[in-house]
Amino acid sequence: MAAFTSLRSANAARQAEWDADNRISLAYRGNELAGEAGEACNVIKKIERERLGIAGSRDTVAHLAEELADVVICADLIAMAEGIDLDAAVARKFNATSQKVGLATRMVEP
């Protein structure tokens, strides 16, 4: 997937600027990922609240897209730190799940 390759290059370049001493730990990255996932879930809650007609604050699909992008960026930063090829890992996991549940759809593994 070219998207993950491009993301990895951009993440590596930005992290060299952001954390030149490479002090950010795996625990920090895990907490960062959990926080971003939580923000996405909060947006989903507000979108669903509107769909159900429940009183309370609202949000937008555009904001959800931003939060989901943060989740993907954080996941790649963790993968990068641990030497994981996210393209290959996603394809393997997707294909394993398809096989497990008896579905024909597969991803091309890099």
Whether residue 1 is predicted with pLDDT greater than 60 in this model: the reply is no
Number of helices (H) and strands (E), helices first, in the chain? 4, 0
pLDDT at 57: 95
Q: Quote the distance between the C-alpha of residue 3 and its chain's center.
A: 12
pLDDT at 5: 84
Q: Where are the domains of the chain?
A: 2-84
**pLDDT tens-digit readout, 6-52:** 999 999 999 999 999 999 999 999 999 999 999 999 999 999 999 99
**pLDDT tens-digit readout, 73-105:** 999 999 999 999 999 999 999 999 999 999 999
Residue with tokens 């897209």: 65
